[in-house]
Structure 1
Amino acid sequence: MLQTWLDRLAARAADWPQTPTRKDDMPLRRDPTLRQRRLGAEMRKMREQAGLGGSQLARALGLNPTQVTQMETGRIGVSADRLRTVAAACDCRNVPLVEALAEMAVERAKGWWEEYRGVLATDFLEVAEVEGHARKLYTCTTTYIPGLLQTREYASAVFARATPMPTAQDIALRTDFRMRRQRILDDQKLPYLAFIHEAALRMQFGGPRILVDQLATLIEASTALGISIRVMPFSADTFPGSSENLTFAEGATPELDTVQMDVAHAVQFFDSPAHLASYRSVFARLEAATLTEGESRELIRSVMKEVEGRHV
């Protein structure tokens, strides 16, 4: 029975147009990017949802099992044709997802963040990569202003408080990188919703003058097209979700959404259906619990005047 099933899968896959094998047999990648690994992970999910082992899928496609493993770990690239062949063999009928993955498979242009590879830690690059491919961004911060909305002085002060303390050169490099990340908001094509806890409005990095300038910049940003800033006040009787700083990036399809969490000395990414569902709920609850845009702007202005009156 199993052999008959595998033969049927192989026949079905053969109906899809295929790129010649020599074009798919790409050199092994030493360090696949986050997006390349995500493509492979989605292919693995397809296979697992079909109830196929790696060897079974390899047999159905006429491949070596090692090739399947390499594709699923992002170690080798795949063509759009082969991606569709894998989808057919796995009986994946989610057309929007398959087409979105096919587009990922043919991506060749390098993102601007690749200029920093080998210079900055990979975490920095992967955060920019997620943002660069997002269709919509949500952030939730509790200890500092979101990176995409920070002033240069505030960002430098945030980096300077790291342990062990980085060199002045490293602080300048990280700050330049953060400022460049902010360009994704310049053309107003990427919708961005920032949830900021009142604690982050009051936390000082670099002193009161830097904070006042940061809050003034935040007020200005809150009026920009495509940017929505919502504050969670101390007076709120609940705080949905994690106390960690979060980013939720919408992908081309819901299955390709990504959650990023900042933890001590690292950045973590989540993309399992269970995690995505959980954090969608978190952000929905945040939207219901936070102040309106107008109320948020007034609270930010109030905190700014308070800090200015006391310290500046």
Structure 2
Amino acid sequence: MPPRLSPTVRQQRLGIELRRMRERVGVTPKNLAATLGTDLPKISQMENGKSGISAERLRIWARTCDCADGPYLDALLAMTQDRRKYWWDGYRGRIPNGIIDIAEMEHHAESLTILHTSFIPGLLQTSAYASAVFARLRPPLPRHEADVRTAFRIQRQQILVDRPKPYTAFIHESALRMQFGGPVVLREQLESLLQDSERPGVEIHAIPFSLDTFPGSGESLYLACGPVPELDTVQIDLSQGPKFVHAEADLQTYREIKTETEAIALGPAESRDFIRTILKDLAGRS
């Protein structure tokens, strides 16, 4: 098969893990190619996510690199076997690949934790609120593209219905009060947020202005926990598009931010009361 032109973040991640495994014990690409019965370009393509790897070859790769971590290898083997088409593949060519990769990340995660300071997290947005967020992008999106992105975002939310998994959202008061679309849209959004907070597995934690500061206050981050910690991923919003972080040192930093944020944020029940207070502040505004 010819190399993939645009490997997904998940395909790239498998390649990253193959390269880490090889480099950890100092095996050269040339030696690995000889062991697998292939050539150097093929090894490079596998490590870049541009070519897949069979389960048999992955086992040989692991043995050659002295990797005997059973749960980790099982998780990598599962990645090699997953060749299905998913709903998000229907959006390829219509929206940027990075946005599609978020849906793929969510689908395969064991649990999800998000921290937002400027707007409500995507999996919890109403259609009207999502449309208002996309309307604020610069440069402006054509109407049809904004509509496609809104539809994609709403379809992503089925992950909380069809495949429920632990989902924790830390939302700063600034995001809870930011009036994308105006007060009517925000009221509808906050009411929807209260309903979502009662879903099984969903926890919403508010971070009030009254806190002096909190870890990670300068950025929004999305932690997707994999089947083993080595396969955790953090997604960060940038003006150029989503960025996916895999380096262990960076992952550890974001795990610490999560732990520290948990310690200072309001609990689920307190957060619901806090959101109701903001709703009262919005009463009568139009």
Please give the range of the TM-score, normalised by the shorter of the 2 chains: over 0.9
| Aligned residues of 1:153 and 1:210 also touching (Cα < 8 A) | yes
Shift of 1:223: 1.1
Counterpart in 1 of 2:191?
Answer: 216
Counterpart in 2 of 1:168?
Answer: 143
SS state at 1:268 partner: strand
The list of structure 1 runs, each at least 4 consecutive aligned residues, that deviate by more than 6 angstroms after superposition, is: none
* Unaligned residue ranges in structure 1 (runs of 5+): 1-25
Counterpart in 1 of 2:109?
Answer: 134
Q: Distance in 2 between matches of 1:67 and 1:120?
A: 30
SS state at 2:216 partner: coil
Q: Distance in 2 between matches of 1:134 and 1:206?
A: 31
Shift of 1:219: 0.8
Quick one: which amino acid aligns to residue 41 of structure 2? Answer: T
Counterpart in 2 of 1:111?
Answer: 86
Residues 23-172 of structure 1 aligned to structure 2 (within 5 Å) = 26-172=1-147
Q: Distance in 2 between matches of 1:71 and 1:108?
A: 15
Does residue 233 (structure 1) correspond to residue 208 (structure 2)? The answer is yes
Quick one: which amino acid aligns to residue 267 of structure 1? Answer: P
Shift of 1:242: 4.5
Shift of 1:185: 0.2
Shift of 1:28: 1.7
1:34-79 alpha-carbon deviations (Å, 9 max, x no partner): 1111111100010011112222322333331221111101111111
SS state at 1:193 partner: strand
Higher mean alpha-carbon deviation, 72-81 vs 142-151, is at 72-81
Does residue 187 (structure 1) correspond to residue 143 (structure 2)? The answer is no
Q: Aligned to 2:245, which of 248, 263, 270?
A: 270
Q: Distance in 2 between matches of 1:188 and 1:62?
A: 40
Q: Distance in 2 between matches of 1:136 and 1:74?
A: 24
SS state at 2:131 partner: helix
| Aligned residues of 2:22 and 2:28 also touching (Cα < 8 A) | yes
Q: Distance in 2 between matches of 1:230 and 1:108?
A: 36
Q: Distance in 2 between matches of 1:207 and 1:189?
A: 31
* Unaligned residue ranges in structure 2 (runs of 5+): none
1:96-154 alpha-carbon deviations (Å, 9 max, x no partner): 11111011111110221110101111121011111111110000000000000000000
Q: Aligned to 1:258, which of 222, 233, 251?
A: 233
SS state at 1:195 partner: strand
Shift of 1:31: 1.6
Q: Distance in 1 between matches of 2:35 and 2:142?
A: 54
Counterpart in 2 of 1:18?
Answer: none
Does residue 304 (structure 1) correspond to residue 279 (structure 2)? The answer is yes
1:132-177 alpha-carbon deviations (Å, 9 max, x no partner): 1111000000000000000000000000011121122111111100
Q: Distance in 1 between matches of 2:217 and 2:43?
A: 36
Shift of 1:29: 1.4
When Rg is computed on C-alpha atoms for both structures, the one with the higher figure is 1
| Aligned residues of 2:36 and 2:57 also touching (Cα < 8 A) | no
| Aligned residues of 1:260 and 1:267 also touching (Cα < 8 A) | yes
Q: Distance in 1 between matches of 2:192 and 2:240?
A: 28
Quick one: which amino acid aligns to residue 148 of structure 1? Answer: L
Quick one: which amino acid aligns to residue 123 of structure 1? Answer: G
Counterpart in 2 of 1:21?
Answer: none
Shift of 1:188: 5.9
Counterpart in 2 of 1:11?
Answer: none
Instruction: Tell me the TM-score normalised to structure 1 length.
Output: 0.89
Shift of 1:218: 0.5
Higher mean alpha-carbon deviation, 185-194 vs 175-184, is at 185-194
Counterpart in 2 of 1:177?
Answer: 152
Residue identity (%): 48
Count of matched residue pairs: 286
| Aligned residues of 1:209 and 1:308 also touching (Cα < 8 A) | no
| Aligned residues of 1:188 and 1:226 also touching (Cα < 8 A) | no
Shift of 1:91: 0.2
Q: Distance in 1 between matches of 2:274 and 2:28?
A: 55
Q: Distance in 2 between matches of 1:85 and 1:35?
A: 21
Q: Distance in 2 between matches of 1:148 and 1:178?
A: 7
